[in-house]
Chains A and B, each alone.
Chain A
Amino acid sequence: MRLRGNHVDELISASLTGDLTDAERVELDSHLVRCETCRNTLAAFTAERSILSGLPVAEPPRDLGARVRSGIESGRLAPWWRRPVGLIAIGASAAVVAAAILAVVVFQNLDLGPVGQASGSPKASVSAAPSSSAVASVAPSVGPTTAPTFLGPGGLGYLSLTGAPLEALRLSFIADATGASVDAGTVSGPPIAAALSPDGQWLAYITQKGETGANEVWALHLNDGKITHLGCSSAAPFTNRLAWSPDSRYLAYTLVGVDLGADAGCEKPTDGADAWLFDTSTGQRSNFSNRGNAYAADFEPMSVADVPVLWVSIASETPGSGAFGVGADINGAGLSNIFLPLFSPDGSRAIFWSGTMTSNGGSWHFSVGGMPQLSGDFRAAGPASPWVGTPLFTDLTPVGGEAFASGDFAWGPDNDHLAFWDGAWTGTPQSADGTYPNQADAYVGSFSSGLLSSASALALVRPADAYLVAIAFAQDGTSVAVTLGLPSAGIGDPPSALLQIVPLDGSAPHGIGGGTDAPPWNGPAVYGY
């Protein structure tokens, strides 16, 4: 019962609508006899109810029925609601891709701008590329702890969102095997990315911030349930990469400056795109770069002399990437035409982007020749640079530079399988039926079986208008967990997503999490180590 001091406002309020139990009625009547303040409250609430109930009734527009019929027949809602806003114009420029073979150029002293580096780590200088010697000399990373983890080895966990759209969206992280859950707090939009720390103690995730066109980054400590808000970002391409250091101490992520106003509860980060670090040992976050066009890519799978090494990519017409020791002097040399590398679990290869980039309001995308590439084997001896990549898709031919503007990729645990999804293809379709490549498809293949092609599209069981949110490989390598977002059944309805486990042997997918009357949003998923 809501008390205001010794007063019974909640009982008074409930009495006006007949929502009191007999005992509550007795209690209220008894209290009113001896409390003038509550008698005044009752009088005021009663007067207020009388005022509202006496409001005049307006006639609806005479054409409301016709408008509804027209909307039903056309299958569309009131037109202005559908107007897309904040769209980034993605398209190819007139320039032409010069060659498929990448010109890899080392440019020295990649500058991340003046930043407050995370402290407490030894300083180190690192090589720009994980050459064979670099890999051979690394010290073993701080491996996963032996403490029990929430998911357990190989266990599936997923984020689940329930509730009404405004102010009441509740996020949980659920262990599929046990059904145990950890409260991930109240959010204003669905989760779109998630990453489990190598020690299994932390979950980093990104949620949409309502319909603002922004995202929020969070870290959840699975042992004590503590939630840390790590910042807001424009929902720009290449901002959903969440990279954990091998020792699970640092989370690297990217924020693209967005000003939502004073009431949004989101302070604006730096202007443009910058890499940020969350230090789990201190609970502090800090920007790792401060130049407006830097993106957190990935940590080296193994630390160098116990110093975590973070790759940061610089967006520009010709992008580049460099490696930096966390807490070390910033002197990582950079590689040209390498953007957002993602290393295989054993560090032997990387998937990365190449192409010509264009800025749009502080965020970047590929405008010409954007293609995901697979590096060579960093362990192999020889004169060729392992960064001369092979296009991930073997049957896509950019015409006039029209290729992918953006997309996502992931490695399988076997260092062989890989996945690509949500590719925003700006060119003409490359199949006779005009459906390839399809942004709504997921392409899964392996290096040993010839990379990706139209035949690599996963056979998903989904509504025709579902879209790909995220993919995670199971630790045994036999399946992927696919999060499929569903278009809103009606504007204002809760967001909804299906989580499907898709076996890679071609057998039928099955759903995780089940559905309810108002289907929740299940996913993205992660797997325990």
Chain B
Amino acid sequence: MALASRLAWRSAEMTVPRDGSDARKAEFDRIFTEYSAPIYNYVLRMVGDPDRAADIAQDTFIKAYRKLDTLTDASSTRSWLYRIATNTAIDEMRRRRNVVRLDADEDRPVEQADGGPGPETQVLSGLMDERISRALLHLKPNHRQCLILSDVEDMSAVQIGEVMGMSNGAVRVLLCRARGEMRRRLAAEGLVR
């Protein structure tokens, strides 16, 4: 039956292994120390709200700990972790956008379907130029994502593809569209021509 299966999927709780070895813990500590600030900033720019960003960053690292065994090449730690963060942030935005309508207890406003600005715009304005934040949060989530990975995180198309699960060519196309859209948004704010 569809409903019960869906709820089983939705409410599934992650079980974190408790048998971590010292080496595992040390590796995780290294990752957390190096990436906690970048990951927090990355998701903050994705969702625009410090509290939500903290929650997403928290869950990103919990999931990273659980999946640590899947990280076989230390050189790919960055893209591996950003991919987890990306999926976690996207899922959070998707849930917030779609699910709150069904939840009578939810008192947060519904985010626009295109991931556009909500109350987070006001919060973000304290952290960066309001016009930039407005332009960024108006982008489609995948446009915003690849633009941040490229221009803030300084990733190449190949690296962005590893994070987003896309081919190099698809990233180039997506990035071009995102730049065009961001250009129009910034131009409307008088920041670029």
Q: What is the interface of chain A, defined by CB distance below 8 A to chain B?
A: 2, 4, 9-10, 12-14, 16-19, 40-41, 43-45, 47-49, 51-53, 55-61, 64-65, 67-68, 71-78, 80-88, 163-168, 192-193, 206, 208, 210-213, 215, 235-240, 260-261, 263-264, 406-408, 422, 424, 439, 465, 467-469, 485, 487-493, 495, 517
Contact = CB atoms under 8 A, between A and B. Distances in A.
Contacts of B6: 192, 208, 213, 235
Interface in B158-193: 158, 164-166, 168, 172-173, 175-177, 179-180, 182-183, 186-187, 191-193
Between A59, A61, A80, A168, the greatest number of chain B beta carbons within 10 A of the residue's beta carbon is seen for A61
Contacts of B98: 210-212, 260, 264
Interface in B65-116: 65-67, 70, 84, 86-92, 94-95, 98-103, 106, 112-114
28 contacts: A2-B176, A9-B180, A48-B151, A48-B179, A56-B128, A57-B41, A58-B44, A60-B36, A60-B41, A60-B54, A68-B61, A75-B13, A77-B63, A83-B103, A167-B142, A192-B5, A210-B98, A263-B113, A264-B98, A467-B5, A487-B8, A489-B14, A489-B66, A490-B84, A491-B63, A492-B88, A492-B92, A495-B9
A61 B44 CA distance: 12
B81 to A, nearest CB: 12
B145 to A, nearest CB: 9
Nearest to B170: A168
A68 B58 contact: yes
B102 A485 contact: no
A16 B156 CA distance: 9
A81 B165 contact: no
Given A10-B172, A86-B102, A495-B9, A64 B54 contact: yes
A49 B152 CA distance: 8
Contacts of B106: 85
Contacts of B193: 40, 43-44, 47
A52 B152 contact: yes
Nearest to B164: A164
B37 interface: yes
A71 B32 CA distance: 14
Contacts of A80: 55
A75 B165 CA distance: 27
B9 A45 contact: no
Given A56-B127, A424-B1, A13 B176 contact: yes
Given A48-B151, A58-B50, A424-B1, A264 B94 contact: no
A360 to B, nearest CB: 10
A206 to B, nearest CB: 7
Nearest to B93: A166
Closest 4 CB pairs of A and B: A487-B12, A492-B91, A263-B113, A492-B87
B44 to A, nearest CB: 6
Contacts of B62: 68, 71-72, 77
A67 B141 CA distance: 27
B77 to A, nearest CB: 16
Contacts of A467: 4-5, 8-9
Instruction: Tell me whether chain B's interface is mostly helix, strand or loop, or mixed.
Output: helix
Contact of A264 (B1, B44, B92, B113): B113
A60 B152 contact: no
Given A58-B44, A76-B14, A491 B88 contact: yes
Between B86, B158, B176, the greatest number of chain A beta carbons within 10 A of the residue's beta carbon is seen for B176
Between B62, B66, B147, the greatest number of chain A beta carbons within 10 A of the residue's beta carbon is seen for B62
Contacts of A18: 156
Given A44-B193, A75-B14, A407-B1, A490 B66 contact: yes
A212 B4 contact: no
A211 B40 CA distance: 25
B34 interface: no
A49 B151 contact: yes
Between B9, B136, B150, B180, the greatest number of chain A beta carbons within 10 A of the residue's beta carbon is seen for B9
Contact of A10 (B8, B55, B112, B173): B173
B175 A13 contact: yes
A43 B106 CA distance: 45
A201 B187 CA distance: 52
A235 B3 contact: yes
Nearest to A259: B101
B94 A210 contact: yes
B23 interface: no
B21 interface: no
B187 to A, nearest CB: 7
A488 B88 CA distance: 12
Given A55-B128, A58-B44, A488-B12, 4 more contacts: A48-B192, A64-B40, A77-B63, A164-B165
Contact of B87 (A43, A44, A490): A490
B137 interface: no
B47 interface: no
A468 B7 CA distance: 12
Contacts of B175: 13-14, 17
Contacts of B182: 48
B161 to A, nearest CB: 10
Interface in B5-60: 5-16, 18, 32, 36-37, 40-41, 44-45, 50, 54-55, 57-59
Contacts of A168: 165-166
Contact of B2 (A14, A41, A71, A208): A208
B91 A82 contact: no
A213 to B, nearest CB: 5
A237 B1 contact: yes
Contacts of B186: 44, 47-48, 51
